[in-house]
Structure 1
């Protein structure tokens, strides 16, 4: 579930005819500055943890807490192209920019066999689940315009790095062959769905990367499947976006 398995933000002027007019014109501007909304305050780790999507939100998914080791491993993620590093990090539990707080979880769709299912059919269902799409979810909150800037950074990288790059984590290097727009998603103030294709030891894998920004919080979803082609975690994205408001 770590990114090594894949190795995988953004003048008004006034003139007066005399000093009296200039002074009069200045007052509204001063009032506007005084009444301007304060900069957004970022959330803490604990506050974000309460906003993470959980088993109670999606009964047909199995959730597992991320470990400090996974986050630490993600910190080693890099790329041969500096402009692409933010993409590699996005798939490795590492949010762009400098967040005030982070929270992480992992989820996998686990359809349960219907009542009365034979042992053979149940076994097939389990085998199918092994090929299900597994998704890491990372929430990151920022001060002021940090979330918009972080979102914009990844969006810019997805365009600059569309032709491919190398991703390295924990000493393992994987060749990303291309990055293309993914299926549209709903929720948040802005979203960025991407399909990331890579070559892992000669095997072609299609992974999904989705970013959703709501206010000063960015949710990142990185999905892969042992079957080779990951499905976009639409239900998971929608559930998480709903919890963010």
Structure 2
């Protein structure tokens, strides 16, 4: 059985998938019928000019929304999730930045923060699909990758420094660490380079392997810096293996300008 920490994270991000399942059932009734250096994107030729840090409200206006991701269901993070993120910790101080990045918490001294979640939609069944096929499609949707998106803005070179802190943690924590939140914990057994990401001024990615009460979890973590804003993307799936959320990353970075 998965730990409560993982269960909360997955179920919060996948609540929409459960709604889709209920909708499908209802519709059928009605019809009656080594040193793991992270994969790093090439830095831009010139860094973006320094700009004033954005507030929570300004960052919220830059978050991806439903119209940006038609193949996903987008829902804002709740105040409770934001509060829980603030208490996320690691058993190894050097790995704390990774736990924060995975938990929708800002790294470093951010002046503003905003959060949202995007769940990939499963393949839509045909309009004339049988009740069984519709139910199967809804069940498959439960295994879709759910991505938590966090934007953090900094004064001066704060974003560059926060990016560097995460990168340093990625080098130091390849052998694993334990993340804790609200009294629950998840053991990370391995941190390895993820698929290369080319976005923003600089980017890095990791595949994060965890052990949730004996069940293997393979999660994806992507970090992108655009000017003085840092965007983190933490992806997981109920099936245990998440895909790198490329569509979410691309759409979010595009909105950052």
Structure number with greater CO (CA < 8 Å, separation at least 6) is 2
1:119 aligns with 2:120: no
Equivalent in the alignment of 1:167: 179
Question: TM-score, structure 2 length as denominator?
Answer: 0.80
Shift of the alpha carbon at 1:39?
Answer: 4.7
Shift of the alpha carbon at 1:117?
Answer: 2.3
Select the residue among 107, 112, 115 that pairs with 1:101: 112
Q: Distance in 1 between matches of 2:185 and 2:208?
A: 15
SS in 2 for 1:222: strand
Equivalent in the alignment of 2:38: none
Give the unaligned 5+ runs of structure 1.
9-36
SS in 2 for 1:56: helix
Q: Distance in 2 between matches of 1:77 and 1:153?
A: 17
Shift of the alpha carbon at 1:40?
Answer: 2.6
| RMSD value, Cα | 1.8
SS in 2 for 1:137: strand
The number of residue pairs the alignment matches comes to 215
1:158 aligns with 2:170: yes
Shift of the alpha carbon at 1:114?
Answer: 3.2
Give the unaligned 5+ runs of structure 2.
10-47
1:63 aligns with 2:74: yes
Equivalent in the alignment of 2:93: 82
Could you say which structure has the larger radius of gyration?
Answer: 1
Structure 1 residue runs of 4 or more that deviate by more than 3 Å after TM superposition? none
1:148 aligns with 2:160: yes
Contact between 1:7 and 1:200, CA under 8 Å: does it hold in 2? Answer: no
Contact between 2:6 and 2:186, CA under 8 Å: does it hold in 1? Answer: no
Question: TM-score, structure 1 length as denominator?
Answer: 0.84
Contact between 2:113 and 2:152, CA under 8 Å: does it hold in 1? Answer: yes
1:221 aligns with 2:222: no
